[in-house]
Every structure is written in structure tokens, then in C-alpha cells.
Amino acid sequence: MKRNLISVLLIGTLFCSCSSRTSWQSYSGDKEIERKVDSVLSLMTLEEKIGQMTQFTSFGDITGPQVSEDIEPYLRKGLVGSIFNAVTTDGIRKLQDMALSESRLKIPVLFGYDVVHGFKTIFPMPLAESCSWDLERIEKSASIAAAETAAAGIKWTFAPMVDIARDPRWGRVMEGAGEDPYLGSRIAEARVRGFQGNSWQALKSPDKILACAKHFVAYGAAEAGRDYNIADVSERTLRDLYFPPFQAAHKAGVGTFMTAFNEISGVPCTASQYLFTDILRDEWNFNGFVVTDYTAINELVPHGVARDEKQAGELAAHAGVDMDMTGSVYLKHLKSSVEEGKVPVAVIDNAVRRILEMKFLLGLFDDPYAGLDPEREKNTILKPEFLQAAREMAARSAVLLKNENDLLPITKDKKCTIALIGPMVKNKESMNGEWAGQGNRQQSVSLFEGVTEKYERSNVRFLYAPGCDLTTDNEQGFAEALAVARQADIVLFAGGEDFNWSGEAACRTDIKLPGAQQALLKQLKKTGKPIVLILFNGRPLDLSWEDGNVNAILEAWYPGTMGGHAVADIIAGDYNPSGRLTLSFPRNVGQIPVYYNHKNTGRPASDDTYSDYRSFYLDEKNAPLYPFGYGLSYTTFEIGNMQLDKTEIKKGEPLAVTAEIRNTGDRDGEQVVQLYVRDIVGSVSRPVKELKRFAKIFLKKGEKQTIRFELDSDDLAFHDIDMRYTSEPGEFKIWIADSSDDERLEKTFRLIE
């Protein structure tokens, strides 16, 4: 391949790639890379620098004869730092050729894309994966996604989305890891490692890509659960709830951050010096670069903090935002802002330095095509082992919410007729959810395909009727569905949400099953047949009626390419469900936000005993329908004999906590053992409990294991009355539990000075 000018210029200083296998933390600007960056920077005009700060969007069909006219002229002049949504190898090659062949400095373009839970092999949506509590598999999903993405020539993903969320009206809860900062942080680390690998050097690997922690910050706190709405949160809530997963992603080495659309207390994130300079650079010492969300700079005008786009660009540049995603604000206005002295050149240079550094770390100056090869892509995507990993992850992400009289599993040796009813029985396109990358929706395995293959040579017979659709109140299919149900022994109803009903700009004020689904279930209930409800959806739904009226409920989420097989594995008992909720299911939308790590208030109320003038509702319990950490198994587990190795610890001194877990049922299974702590008295009020450790363990039937956790005062730290991050002496409660509402095993200990 023709070496481009930059490589020739640098050939004299070319060293082996960056320092030895260092962990990400040690990267504070590798000296050799800085030298290369400075040598490139010194050659650049102001226009070329601003070009690096500009990202265009392309579209999948870029391989067509004409590159969209708005990109081409800039590409040929070397004024495009990054392009996203170019997703085919020949399209990417065409665009990179343009950038390298005619531009003066031949700086490679960085190609990015939303690879949120898979590129071609689609894994369960991120919230579903979080319910597996399986960090190894979560990391593996991300690494498979990275391998497929990199094979297509794309070296940057806009993921992981690490926004804590507590409001299922907000459609983007499906992209995150639920309501808890500790679990969300561990999952953020796993996803960053999966995408990027464990060292700067790994970024150059042909199967690793740059990750992006998004959306910084508190996007999930959108008022009223309405996307893009304001978030009004205190600094303490920012620091103790919304920051931790971003800090974890940073410590795991994430190379980029993305700004959130929302404002916080009046300041849009994309214009926030507090976030992108004071916190990210000065307090956390983040060395990567910051990209805006889609046209987020332009949106500073409707936010009402900029009179025009030029001023918006100045605000964003001063805030420390390095790259403008598709808004072209930097491209159109930043040069004059610099010439007018409103934005110092140093601000531009810093931004360009960070962007060039990542391009060097990704090896793009050595190989701008990042190993682009249609043959390699064809041999990489949809490998059988990738599909098997997706199937296993989907099975482990599903949560069994109810199973009256062990109605499930329906084993293959049974002789029965199952009525498959509902809009998600044969649906394929919704299985992948909204952020489905380049997954072929028609290739996803439907539930119908999964169960008919599963029970092929068995005595289980299937009848089928859709009954209704996913969204409308049309009841014309009810009669057929009821007739089918009456001929069967069991009804298996598959419903949920169309993939457009969860995700970005997909918020709902009523979170019941959409359309006529619940009405049909009510009719089916009258047939007297036992009903298994299988849900394919992106958010916690209001299942109060279903919980009181159907016999079994399996939350399968948007399970991805292999969803139908995974759910069939569970229904037939070939896999014993092990998922545990990471986001509370409210009893109804009026309870929202309802979450486990809530405060006690000055007038706490108990759902069990009435008392007036307490913090409760007249018409509903306080507790959610299904709490954080909850999920059933086909077997049963007992946790007992909880022990602490000491009843008081000094700062820095470890506390060991042990307990025995026994599989008391008649089949093997996995339990998620959870450790919660409560700080009884603090200089500020503290949550009634906080997850501090967990472990997912496999136990054969009858098997017993001892689990041991260790924690110390660092695990008890929070932002105190003076906003110092510290732990405070005093009494603590501690539980080993199988759900956040399980308080059967409780101990106390003291932290002393």
C-alpha cells in the first residue's frame, strides 16, 4: 500500500508502537506518540486542524457511485477527522482513499459507528445483558462485537452507554445497565475491556476498537422520563450516582467520551466547562478526546444558551469538547472565532492533539485502512461460535419473574399441545431491539422457529394464532386465538414492544403491554388454560395485572439474533434461567421513579403496617412489583450461616463476609449472591442499602458452596457534607441476599476511626 505523506515524514521518528504492555492507567501521553503528534500538528493549517475536529455522518449505501456531495469536497481537502455510519468495506475504502489521495497531509479518517450490542451478530440489548450479572460474558460480547466491527474497517464504537437510569418511561433504559452505580461500574469496565482490550497497545489489534463512554452525564435523569428533557440533579447525586460508571470506564481506559444532550441545572452538558474541563480533565485526568452527541453543539441555540451557532461553537470549544458530531458548527465558524480572538489557538491544538493521539494509538497512521479486507470481514462475521455466544448470553439475560406450580419448564418428554399466541411468536425484526448495528433483522431467530426446532422430535404439538399485533387495539384476531387456545393444554403468549417502542426518542407515559395484548390475555384467561407470558421488550413494563393473572412470566427483553433459540432453551428446561433484574419493575407508572437504593426519609412507611402521616401512597404500595436483584430459577437456593470475621474495622482494614449457599432443588442452577450495605448515620442521609459485591455461582442440585466477600472502608465512601469523598465511622448493616428486598441474613459492624 502506498505510504502516505505523514508516514514518510515520520519514518525518521518511527519507533515501535507505544510503550510495553502498559495498563491504560499509565497512559498519560506516551512520549513517542506525543512527538509524532506534535510533528503532524506543526504542519497543519488552522483549517486542517478544525477539520480534524469535524465528524460527518455517511450512510450505509456509501458504496454507491456518488459519495454524498456534502462530504466529498471536505474529504479531498483533508478537512474531515471522522465519519460515522459508513458500514461497508468498499465504502470505507472509497472514503479513506479520498482523504489520503488528494489531501495535503493525508491524515487518516477515523470511522465510527453505534455498535451498542453487536455489529452483525446481535447480542441481547445492554439492559438484558446486565441482568446476566455475568461480567465475563458481557466482556466477551463486546469483544466479539469489536472483532466484527474492526473486520469491517471501523475502529471506533459509540459505546458503552453507561447512563444510570431509574425511569422506565425513558426509552433508553434499554441501552444501559440499570439503576445501580456499583453494578453499572463493573459492567462499564467489562465493556470497555471487551471493545478496546487491556492496554493501549491492544487498540492496534485487528480485532479491537476504540470505545466511547456515553452520554456524559445524567442523561438518564431526564425529567418525566421524556428523552432530551432537563436533568436537575445535585452535585452529590451526580458524584455518587451518575459519575461512577463513567469513572469506571475511564479507569478501564476508555479512549473517548460523548456529551449528553441534556442540560444539568441550566447548563447543557455540551457547553459545560465543569464537566469537560474541571471534572474530566482536571479532576479525573482523562487523556482521550470528547465527541458531542449528534448535532449537540447546534442544539445549544434551542437550549437558549447561545444566540447563534457560532457562539454555540465557542461555548463548546471552551468547555473542552474536541469533536463536533455532524453539526458542522466547528467547520463553519471556529476559524473566525479564532481569528476574532474568541477561541485561543491553544484550545484548538489541544483538541487536535487528543484526536491525533487516538489515531496513532489505533495504528491508523501505519495502516489507514486498519486491515480492511472484505475476505477477512466475510470470514469474521457471524461465526458459529459468535452465534453460540449470543445464544448463551440471551438465555442468561432472561429473567424468570413468575412460575406458579413450576409450570415451566415444558420438557420434551411431556405429551401436550401448546397454543403459541401473540404478536411476538413469529416476529423477527423486533428481536434485535433498536440499536441493532448491521444485524440482519430477518436473520434473527423467532420464538416460533426456536420452539418448533427444539421440540421437533417430541410429543409436544404446537398450534398458532397471532391474536393481535404489537401496537394497535385491533381485536379481529381474538376469536381465532381463543379457538386455538381452547384446543391446547397450555397457552404460551409472546408479546412485548415493537423495537421502535424502546430506545432513543421512544418514551411512554403508559408502560403496560401496548395495544390489545392485555385485552387478549384477559380473554385467554377466561378459557381457564394455564398461561405462560414471554416478553420481548426494552423496558420494565407495568405487569401488575399479568402478575396477578397469568401462571408464568419470562422477561426475555430484546434477545438478539439467537433469541428464539435461547428462549426455547429455557422453556424446554435445557437452560435453567439465572437472570436477575437490574432495573426495578414498578407496579404502575405512578410509582416512578422507584428504585432499591432509595433514602429513608424522615417518615418512612412500611408496606406491611399502616400508619398515617408517613411517606406512602393511599392507592398503591411503595415497593416495586419486582425489585432490583430479583429473579427466579427452576431450582431453589438457600443462603445461610452468614459470618463476619470481625465486628469492627479501621479505615483500610478488610472485613471478610462469608455465607453458605446450597442448591436445595432438584436441578442444577446458578444463583446471583448479592452483598448490600447500609450506612446507618452519615453527615448526609444515606441510601437504605447499596450493592457492594456480587457473585454468580453454579451449583449442582444438592451442592453447597461457601462464598467469601471482602470489603473495606473504601467501599463505604461517599461524598460527605463537605463534598469530600470519604467513609465515615459509625454503624453499618450488611446483608447477603438473593435480591435487594431479601433481608433474612443481616449483620452489623462498625467502622472506627
Binding mask 285-304 for ligand GLC (x = CB under 6 A): --------xx----------
CB of 68 to ligand GLC, least distance (A): 16
Cα 518 to Cα 511: distance, rounded to the nearest angstrom: 12
Grid cell digits, residue 336: 473566525
Among positions 324, 504, 555, 670, the unique one binding ligand GLC when judged by CB under 6 A: 504
Quick one: 341 exposed, middle or buried, by C-beta within 10 A (0-12, 13-18, 19+)? Answer: exposed
Residue indicated by cell numbers 473566525: 336
Q: Smaller CB distance to ligand GLC: residue 158 or 478?
A: 158
CB of 296 to ligand GLC, least distance (A): 8
The catalytically annotated residue of 134, 167, 293, 322 is 293
| Contacts of ligand GLC in 122-181 (CB under 6 A) | 158
3-state SS, one letter per residue, for 174-212? HHCCCCCHHHHHHHHHHHHHHHHCCCHHHHHCCCCCECE
Among positions 30, 48, 114, 670, the unique one binding ligand GLC when judged by CB under 6 A: 114
Beta strand 637-644 with 704-711 is unpaired
Q: Smaller CB distance to ligand GLC: residue 271 or 408?
A: 271
Q: Smaller CB distance to ligand GLC: residue 160 or 467?
A: 160
CB of 219 to ligand GLC, least distance (A): 8
Contacts of 534 (CB under 8 A, 6+ apart): 422, 424, 447, 492, 493, 494, 495, 554, 556, 567, 571
State yes or no: residue 493 binds ligand GLC (CB under 6 A).
no
* 542 is an active site residue: no
Cα 142 to Cα 161: distance, rounded to the nearest angstrom: 12
CB of 277 to ligand GLC, least distance (A): 22
Q: Smaller CB distance to ligand GLC: residue 187 or 419?
A: 187
Tell me which residue of 237, 252, 324 sits closest to 284, measured CA to CA: 252
How many residues in total does the chain contain?
A: 753
Contacts of 443 (CB under 8 A, 6+ apart): 428, 561
State yes or no: residue 214 binds ligand GLC (CB under 6 A).
yes
Q: Smaller CB distance to ligand GLC: residue 139 or 504?
A: 504
Tell me which residue of 732, 625, 551, 690 sits closest to 240, measured CA to CA: 690
Grid cell digits, residue 213: 463512554
Residue indicated by cell numbers 491544538: 349
CB of 159 to ligand GLC, least distance (A): 8
State yes or no: residue 434 binds ligand GLC (CB under 6 A).
no
Q: Smaller CB distance to ligand GLC: residue 222 or 673?
A: 222
Cα 473 to Cα 48: distance, rounded to the nearest angstrom: 56
Note whether 561 and 439 are within 8 A (CB): yes
Q: Smaller CB distance to ligand GLC: residue 294 or 545?
A: 294
Q: Per residue in 428-442, is it b (16+ CB within 10 Å) or e — as a string?
A: bebbbbbbbbbbeee
Q: Smaller CB distance to ligand GLC: residue 505 or 656?
A: 505
CB of 294 to ligand GLC, least distance (A): 4
Task: Read off the amino acid at residue 303.
Answer: H
CB of 147 to ligand GLC, least distance (A): 20
Q: Smaller CB distance to ligand GLC: residue 92 or 532?
A: 92
Q: Smaller CB distance to ligand GLC: residue 380 or 438?
A: 438
CB of 293 to ligand GLC, least distance (A): 5
CA angle 334, 340, 345 (to 5 degrees): 60
| Interface with ligand GLC: number of residues (CB under 6 A) | 6
Residues 219, 225, 227, 233, CA torsion sign:
negative
Comparing every residue's Cβ against ligand GLC, the nearest one is 158
Cα 747 to Cα 71: distance, rounded to the nearest angstrom: 63
CB of 718 to ligand GLC, least distance (A): 29
DSSP string for residues in 91-122: HHHHHHHHHHHHSSS-PPPEEEE--SS-SSSP
Note whether 329 and 294 are within 8 A (CB): no
CB of 114 to ligand GLC, least distance (A): 5
Cα 547 to Cα 287: distance, rounded to the nearest angstrom: 49
Q: Report the interface residues with ligand GLC, using CB under 6 A.
A: 114, 158, 214, 293-294, 504
Active site residues: 293
